[in-house]
Every structure is written in structure tokens, then in C-alpha cells.
Structure 1
Amino acid sequence: MKTYTTYENAEIFGNFDELSPNGYLFDLTDVAAIITDPETGEVTTERMQKCVVHWTDDIKNQLPDFNTTEGMRIKGDLIRETSWSNPAENRKFHSWHMHAKTIL
């Protein structure tokens, strides 16, 4: 399994569905990280098949905190967050893009 602890320049992007049991935990089934190795400059794309993200009410002022099934946690600065709704299903969706500050 890849070790992420040395990488702090990842771009994380994905989508989540606002529906969840507690309102703030979201299962992400198609998430990717674009990671630049600070030593070699090599750029790789890591796909994370299952993540959970927790945000508070004030989404713009929080650090996203990602937990993957492998136990990786990612915190960073949100670059862009957009929302859209599906009135027929009464669901709201979000798309996000961030720079990771810490990958543990």
C-alpha cells in the first residue's frame, strides 16, 4: 500500500451527496488525489474507492477532514465547492476541490 505521509501537495477532488444518517458524514465512492512527490516531482493519481468526509455547518470556514477505508486522514484548504440540487429526489449534491495540507 502506498505511504502518503511524505506527500503534502495533493489536490483532492470528488462529489458527495448531502443525504446521510447524521447530515454531515458523506460516503464518497469515486474520489481521486493528484499527488506530486516533493523529492522527484513525479505526479501520480490515486483513486480512493471509499472515503468519508465530515464538515460542519459553516463549510467555507472549515478544513475538510477525509478518512479513507485504509485509515488515511487528509486535511486541507478548500479551493472550490459547488452545489446543485435534484428537486425530484429532494437531494442536494456537492462537488469539491481542495489542496491537502496534511496527509496522515
Structure 2
Amino acid sequence: MALNIELPPRLAKTRIVAGIVFTDGHATVRKIGTSTRRYLEHVGATITSDGEAGPLAKRTLAELRAAAADLDLDLPESAKKTDLIEAISSASEG
């Protein structure tokens, strides 16, 4: 799962923000840290996930486990779907 980041118009010509290289105000990265996400949101960047299968509740357990792994979440193998959804939602909110 990739993250698409779009800078606000006032920063669109900036090449590097928070260590991420942007082209015409856009960048795609595999993952970002919590501090980087908070900073980007603070400056007005829009961060969206690419290839999401829709709301988390509609995803399969395997898709949720893959999303959790992409976010470097350390969850037990016994984690239930609701546990995965809660952890992914919390991590995505920053």
C-alpha cells in the first residue's frame, strides 16, 4: 500500500519536505513515520492511501494483516479483525 502526498499550493514548488522528494507538489512513498505525518498534515499536505480496498471493515483479514505490516504494527498472530481495524485506524490518524 502506497501513500500519496500532495502539498498545498503554497509549497507545490518545494522539492524536498521532511526528507521526501516531491515533483510538482506530489510524492508517493511506501510509509512515513508518525512525526513526518504530523508535520506534513500541519503544513497542509493531503495524505491518502493508494489501492485501498475501501473501508477497513470491508477488507479481508489477510488485507488487514498486510496493511498492519505496511504500517510496521507489531500485532500478535491471534489478533482479531476488530483489533486490526482499531490498530490500523489509530496508526493512520497519527
Fold equivalence (TM over 0.5): no
Compare the two structures and name the one with the higher helix fraction: 2
| Alignment TM-score, normalising by the size of structure 2 | 0.26
| Alignment TM-score, normalising by the size of structure 1 | 0.25
Compare the two structures and name the one with the higher strand fraction: 1
